[in-house]
Amino acid sequence: MNGNLYKPLKSELIKVIDESPLIKTFVLVPETEFSFATGQFIEVTIDGMGEAPFTPSSSPLETGQLEVTVMKTGYVTDHMHNMQPGEKMGIRGPYGRGYPIEKFYDKEVLILGGGCGFAPIRSLLYNLIAISDKLRKVTLCYGSKTPEDCIYKPYIQELRETPKFEVLRSVDQADGDWSERVGVVTVLLDDVNMDIKNSVVVVCGPPIMMKFGTMKLLEMGYPEHDIYLSMEKNMSCGLGKCGHCMMGKYLACKDGPVFTYDEIKDQPHIWN
């Protein structure tokens, strides 16, 4: 952590990877080593333009560089999408409470992700692969709008070849070459065969997907305390002070961003 909480750590953008028409991955090398736990987030500063929160999509075991996968969706992300290798960004963090990996030991892990919500999930998957001897199995259900919007295509292939890991994908609208499921991501839950009593579930994606995904998981019998949600709120300072990410008695930046459903089910505005 820097001496001053608000001063970003300068980081060089060394590579930009096109993931889909709207999503790019930015590979950053911070001026000093930087570590985070999977599920924690960072604030990325575009000099003089603005700052936005992202959960790194790279492995938490890597400290020399990190990656953020960003959808072009607003002022800051528009600027990011125009940046080139060699330019500088700033990062602050890591902030918040990530995934409690040790609670996943000896369990089956079901991951439900949608759109750019795959970014934090990829970081989690890197971590789970490193400890796969402690897990029973990992099933990823990932949905996107169209085949073109599916991100991390080479990584999906790699994951499918990894023992204990299974990947199911769906798209809302298919084209002629798509051979996997068609429909919203929750249709994939009909295809999974999990030992619910010995499972945990991770959900990350757009709020509407998280809402309906969680409702279906509850219907399937998953306990509320085993459903981990990565909440998307307006995390501005990251320090539990500015108030923008308030969710009732919680501040998503400090008390989250990862919560179990039973922790937040009675708080206001969790899905919007």
Partner 1 sequence: MNRISIQKQEWDEKLLQSLSSHLIYAPLETEFSCDYVKLEAGTIPEIVYNKPKPVTPLKKFFLPVKENVTIDSSPLLPVAIIGTPNCDVMALALLDEIYLDQEYTDPAYRQRRDNTTIISTDCLSILEHCHCTSYGIDPTGNDHSDISLALIEDQVILTVHSPKGEAFIQSLGMIVTLEPEKELLQSLGEIHSSVLEQLKQQNNGLPGYEETGKLISESEMELWKKYASTCVSCGACSAICPTCSCFLLIDRPGFEKVRQLDTCQYPGFERVAGGEDALNELPERFRNRYMCKYVWKPEKYPMKACTGCGRCIETCIGQINKNELILELSK
In the three-class reduction of DSSP (H, G, I as helix; E, B as strand; rest coil), residue 131 is classed as: coil
CB-nearer residue toward partner 1: 91 or 124: 91
Binding site for partner 1 (CB under 8 A): 3-8, 10, 45-52, 71, 73-74, 76-77, 90, 206-207, 232-234, 236-237, 239-246, 248-249, 251, 254, 268-269, 272
CB-nearer residue toward partner 1: 137 or 254: 254
At closest approach, how far in Å is the CB of 250 from partner 1? 8
| C-beta neighbour count of 100 within 10 angstroms | 13
CB-nearer residue toward partner 1: 28 or 125: 28
At closest approach, how far in Å is the CB of 90 from partner 1? 5
At closest approach, how far in Å is the CB of 80 from partner 1? 11
CB-nearer residue toward partner 1: 160 or 249: 249
| C-beta neighbour count of 194 within 10 angstroms | 19
At closest approach, how far in Å is the CB of 193 from partner 1? 32
What are the tokens at 110?
A: 């079901």
At closest approach, how far in Å is the CB of 28 from partner 1? 14
At closest approach, how far in Å is the CB of 95 from partner 1? 9
CB-nearer residue toward partner 1: 29 or 246: 246
Omega cis (within 30) before 94:
yes
Task: Give dist(CA 161, CA 191) in Å, integer.
Answer: 19
Q: Which residues contact 104 (CB under 8 A, 6 or more apart)?
A: 128, 134, 135, 200
The pair phi, psi for residue 2, each rounded to 5°, is -65, 165
Task: Give dist(CA 272, CA 258) in Å, integer.
Answer: 16
The pair phi, psi for residue 68, each rounded to 5°, is -125, 140
Which is nearest to 115 in space by CA: 41, 21, 38, 37? 21
CB-nearer residue toward partner 1: 225 or 269: 269
